[in-house]
Chain A
């Protein structure tokens, strides 16, 4: 089945696999064709991020143990907004939600930054190597009490969430497998001085354990290997990644299809992501504008698509009030997401963010290259460059009436003020809360 490749679908791809495309990026993606556009996003290691690195260096962030959470969050937000490798940040955000650790308990900015870097550097190879790195990461070790899990006192916190959330899901293992997992990971600890992984053989349980019906002298690597070839694991990760890019609650047969691709590729994530991004489901009516933006999606997409040259002041506070403090998810299951993002209070917060974002906004830069002679054309440029956003005709009419109450084309300062208002209204639309 041929997927129509046009501005609408290219913009959709960029909303999901990047954080929204600029009109230049969308136009290029249309020219590249579906496969070419997807490949450009996936093959990001070929793209230089020197401009981003320079921008971040110039901020001189202090991100050691006793640094500030708001600084760490801004360090990452700048990456998301100004990266030349947007899928890399998308994957990092996906894994940050999947392997959720929170500042509330970890209380160590350096470790949280380190984990974020692990997710970025390992997040697009095999899941097996990713979860191995995560299991050895100081922030995760501290978060789920793994570093103190010993032969005589195996701590079940990591083992339980490893099975329930990270790999298999409830119903695919027995309570005894939780203890077997905990025992197998004993001795996986953290060197507190160097903040690096430490295997402590004295605290490792070298004895036999029975895991998923198989008995052996398993250690953590064995558990990872056995778990990551389970069909239930394939389904869980396929469903998670598919839901992230395409649509929530995928049909069982869709999950099975992608689970097979993922397991056949030996948990190699680019194979799974490529299959999803080029699938008919990805561009189906269910997928298009069918997901609710998280506060991070909302803020980062607004900043990118408005072509802001600086991040919006106090974005961190808006994210916190919207329910998504970076590095501080509510618990180990991450953010619940979906329609829970758009409670009335959170919507107000988004409207307030739209206000702040459009104050720093340069309408001339935004409409550069467009010939805009009428109020209708102006509204259409904004709707297209911030979407294209599908709005009812009467909503378009309201926007036109806002921009030009007497029907004439505003000019000068009035035009600037109302273009800002137009952008603010579009960012506050019910449609713009979706993506």
Chain B
């Protein structure tokens, strides 16, 4: 037999008190009106520095082919979306979403002090703060500040949720500590307290003792933090038990696709998850770029296309926006080893019903006007965040970003009727 945490709380075994749970999260998670208006942002980190020039390709720029004798994409393979830009062929499965106005991208995105360091640049993208060195421990992420500012009331262990090898800095918050799992494939086993089933009575007593211990306050701050995370884990176990099965829509066979399939289940279960963080490693293509980047983009496009289908079938597509980003773009000229070195500005993409598609944003990378050999930054990445906070979440971005940035206009205003731009 199993005993769920809810049952356990109700029967009050082992002397545990209900005060362990701040009951707010339960209320928030079960209030239907709050849920129907809940919008989810899924952030996809392309770790390593995705080569934007070969993703959204400025194929008519005369420098493009010159700069990349071995890794330029053949003209016949490029999926042209305007007379200046075309997709990498690996993005083919997202082409219908672009056609349908639900997928677009923003070019020339970066920041002033971009220095080609993976770690500093990643920290800056994740925190939204241009620090001179690595972000000190305890620095909050931009989404962590968003969660603290706008989601803290009624937050639960799954308000923010990450599938990542580490708890992402982007979600680091003072008040809203979410759940990170490393592998969606192991989700069911890693979100249950699998205890020895051979002795059910002992299992109950073990769980009771465990919950009781985690209800006891500690003196040391770091032990308190572990205790807090443990209670969040118990809460997450409970909430995740509400997830329904995977939908009928097929997904490709990949770890990333499994992650997006899980995200669709989380969205459908209405457990209060508002921000999801996913990372894909491997974009640091100093060599063998065509094979490596092609495989990664195929994986991403396949997973996203299946996800978009799934959430559309489930009637959830108006509730979800996906943002894809990478810490920097790569150098315009290839490096002589069928790869590219670290560069500066890159591109971000967005996918969702709220996207004002049919066009792309930020212009094209101008390869003839490089910044020390790299694509020049023309848009600050925080204007992307500003646009999302303002138009997707319908909140004031200023308390989160602490400065004014431009609204880039790639989303329909929150609550406002959607407008469509005319296609090229």
* Closest CB in chain A relative to B116 CB, distance in Å: 8
Cross-chain contact B180 with A345 (CB below 8 angstroms) = yes
Instruction: Give the interface segment out of A59-67, A76-84, A147-155, A215-223.
Output: A147-155
Q: Give the residue among A104, A170, A398 with the most B Cβ atoms within 10 A.
A: A398
A402 cross-chain contacts in B, Cβ below 8 A = 205-206, 208-209
A331 beta carbon closer than 8 Å to chain B: yes
Return the CB mask of A50-73 against B: 1 if under 8 Å, else 0.
000000000000000000000000
Contacting residue for B225 out of A165, A339, A345, CB 8 A: A339
A249 beta carbon closer than 8 Å to chain B: yes
Q: Give the residue among B181, B196, B213, B281 with the most A Cβ atoms within 10 A.
A: B213
Known A-B contacts A170-B134, A402-B209; A392 and B218 likewise in contact (beta carbons under 8 Å): yes
Cross-chain contact B226 with A434 (CB below 8 angstroms) = yes
Contacting residue for B282 out of A104, A290, A394, A399, CB 8 A: A104
A434 cross-chain contacts in B, Cβ below 8 A = 220, 222-223, 226
* Closest CB in chain A relative to B176 CB, distance in Å: 12
Cross-chain contact B209 with A401 (CB below 8 angstroms) = yes
Known A-B contacts A148-B337, A321-B182; A431 and B223 likewise in contact (beta carbons under 8 Å): yes
Closest residue to B335 on the A side, CB-wise?
A: A153
* 13 more CB-based (< 8 A) A-B contacts, given A148-B287, A348-B236: A155-B287, A155-B341, A170-B134, A292-B222, A331-B48, A343-B179, A345-B180, A345-B182, A345-B190, A349-B190, A398-B213, A398-B216, A430-B214
B243 beta carbon closer than 8 Å to chain A: no
A395 cross-chain contacts in B, Cβ below 8 A = 213, 216
Closest residue to A348 on the B side, CB-wise?
A: B233
Known A-B contacts A170-B120, A434-B223; A340 and B196 likewise in contact (beta carbons under 8 Å): no
B398 beta carbon closer than 8 Å to chain A: no
Closest residue to B292 on the A side, CB-wise?
A: A105
- SS of A interface (majority): helix
- SS of B interface (majority): loop
State A202–B222 Cα separation when bound (angstroms): 55
State A182–B232 Cα separation when bound (angstroms): 47
Return the CB mask of A261-299 against B: 1 if under 8 Å, else 0.
000000000000000000000000000011010000000
Cross-chain contact B165 with A323 (CB below 8 angstroms) = yes
Return the CB mask of A399-422 against B: 1 if under 8 Å, else 0.
101100100000000000110110
Known A-B contacts A148-B287, A344-B180, A395-B216; A331 and B281 likewise in contact (beta carbons under 8 Å): yes
Cross-chain contact B165 with A330 (CB below 8 angstroms) = yes
B281 cross-chain contacts in A, Cβ below 8 A = 104, 330-331
State A165–B120 Cα separation when bound (angstroms): 12
* Closest CB in chain B relative to A240 CB, distance in Å: 13
Closest residue to A339 on the B side, CB-wise?
A: B225
Report the interface size for chain B: residues with CB under 8 A from the other chain. Answer: 72
Contacting residue for A336 out of B48, B166, B229, B235, CB 8 A: B166
B284 cross-chain contacts in A, Cβ below 8 A = 157, 331
State A148–B285 Cα separation when bound (angstroms): 13
Instruction: Give the interface segment out of A205-213, A351-359, A368-376.
Output: A351-359
Cross-chain contact B213 with A425 (CB below 8 angstroms) = yes
B33 beta carbon closer than 8 Å to chain A: no
Contacting residue for B230 out of A335, A425, A430, CB 8 A: A430
Q: How many residue pairs at the A-B interface have CB separations less than 8 Å?
A: 186
A201 beta carbon closer than 8 Å to chain B: no
B370 beta carbon closer than 8 Å to chain A: no
B267 beta carbon closer than 8 Å to chain A: no
A346 beta carbon closer than 8 Å to chain B: yes
State A248–B221 Cα separation when bound (angstroms): 14
B124 beta carbon closer than 8 Å to chain A: no
Cross-chain contact A340 with B166 (CB below 8 angstroms) = yes
Cross-chain contact A321 with B229 (CB below 8 angstroms) = no
State A399–B213 Cα separation when bound (angstroms): 8
Near A by CB (< 8 A), chain B positions 116-149 give: 116-120, 132-134, 137
Near A by CB (< 8 A), chain B positions 177-214 give: 177-183, 186, 189-196, 199, 202, 205-206, 208-210, 212-214
Closest 9 CB pairs of A and B: A153-B336, A344-B233, A430-B226, A343-B180, A345-B181, A402-B209, A145-B286, A330-B165, A344-B232
B304 beta carbon closer than 8 Å to chain A: no
Cross-chain contact B223 with A150 (CB below 8 angstroms) = no
B335 cross-chain contacts in A, Cβ below 8 A = 153, 155
A155 cross-chain contacts in B, Cβ below 8 A = 286-287, 335, 337, 341
B227 beta carbon closer than 8 Å to chain A: yes
- Please, could you name 9 A-B residue pairs with CB atoms under 8 Å apart, sorted by A? A145-B286, A160-B117, A160-B342, A171-B132, A395-B213, A398-B216, A402-B208, A430-B214, A434-B223
Cross-chain contact B165 with A430 (CB below 8 angstroms) = no
A167 beta carbon closer than 8 Å to chain B: no
State A178–B209 Cα separation when bound (angstroms): 55
* Closest CB in chain B relative to A171 CB, distance in Å: 6
B384 beta carbon closer than 8 Å to chain A: no
A347 beta carbon closer than 8 Å to chain B: yes
Known A-B contacts A344-B180, A402-B206, A421-B206; A152 and B336 likewise in contact (beta carbons under 8 Å): yes
State A292–B229 Cα separation when bound (angstroms): 13
A229 beta carbon closer than 8 Å to chain B: no
A189 beta carbon closer than 8 Å to chain B: no
Cross-chain contact A345 with B166 (CB below 8 angstroms) = no
A333 beta carbon closer than 8 Å to chain B: yes
Cross-chain contact B117 with A164 (CB below 8 angstroms) = yes
